[in-house]
Amino acid sequence: MILVVDCVGYIGSHLVKELVEKEQVIVLDNLSTGHRNLVDERAVFVQGDLGNRTDLDAIFEKYPIQAVMHFAANSLVGESVVNPLKYYQNNVAATLTLLETMLKYNVKNFIFSSTAATYGIPNVELITEDCPTNPINPYGRSKLMIEQILADFASAYGLNYVVLRYFNAAGAHESGEIGEDHNPETHLIPIVLQHLLGQRDKISVFGTDYNTPDGTCIRDYIHVTDLAKAHILALEALLTGKKKTAIYNLGNGLGYSVKEVIETCEKVTGRKAVIEYTDRRPGDPARLVASSQKIYEELGWKAEYSLEQIIESAWKWHQWKGSKWSSRSW
């Protein structure tokens, strides 16, 4: 069986939906930020806490766990700056408890959900895994700490692991049943689509004077289902012994500016956005685009969804969600 930690969040729920087609899955979540209805009914759901040894012992004693896929983390950059204790407790200390429990029960395969924030502000066109890691906030530092801990555990205890550094996850499952639903919402594509549905008055664009073709920031967007498929390939690589340790970027390798994303949202929806141009936000790099050549060469993975397809899937889900809540209000 495969244990998925934080299964009701955005990426974890999409992973479980794909993984249950191939493996027996048990999922652990405390439901603090996610939604129970997002968990595929074919998975065994356990409500509990990642940092609670009793909860973890109960799972590892009852189920024959072969590998752990770890998605649980607080991930708001701004919050991490004003409340770093929360991030080091939840993202680092709780993960150490999980890793200690795995060693106790001789479970040696671990997939870790990391982030492009580990790179900080690299001054390169395409970010490879060899670029220096220099995170600029506690969120990024908490993720990098776990990466370093995994390397030490591999050397000392024989832990096998794959680290997956995400760039900008977006989109929704093709079924339309699950999608991106954060509170508060901080990601560009859902913010634009919420606005185009009439749920926000306007969109704020932070900075128009970056050294980019149209002056707005450029980011790498990757469909959440592409992410899920990369996790499954990484899991197979560990379970078959093809890989012992690895770090991979997950992105499209294509950069789209904020203006390009808004324009594509307008094209997909047939609606026009109201845009407010304002000052830059501190710490926003002009360009963050991944090279995912390494995982393509080693595991055969590459992103399949275009930006337009990502937005089309998200729009389908946001429309469904909007109509669902509208019907509830009457």
Known active-site residue 256: no
Q: Which helix (DSSP H) or strand (DSSP E) does residue 58 occupy? A: helix 53-62
Q: At 326, which helix (H) or strand (E)?
A: helix 307-328
Decide if 190 contacts 182 (C-beta within 8 A): yes
In b/e form, how buried is each residue of 95-127, taking b as 16+ CB within 10 angstroms? Answer: bebbbebbeeeebbbbbbbbbbbbbbebeeebb
Residues 6+ apart with CB under 8 A from 3: 26, 27, 28, 59, 63, 65, 67, 68, 69
50, 70, 146, 160 from 152: Cα distances, Å = 21, 18, 10, 11
Q: Taking Cα atoms as reference points, which of 17, 5, 3, 2 lies closest to residue 179?
A: 17
Which region holds residue 91: left if phi is over 0, alpha if psi is between -120 and 50, else beta? Answer: alpha
Catalytic residue among 10, 87, 119, 139: 139
What amino acid positions are annotated as catalytic residues? 139
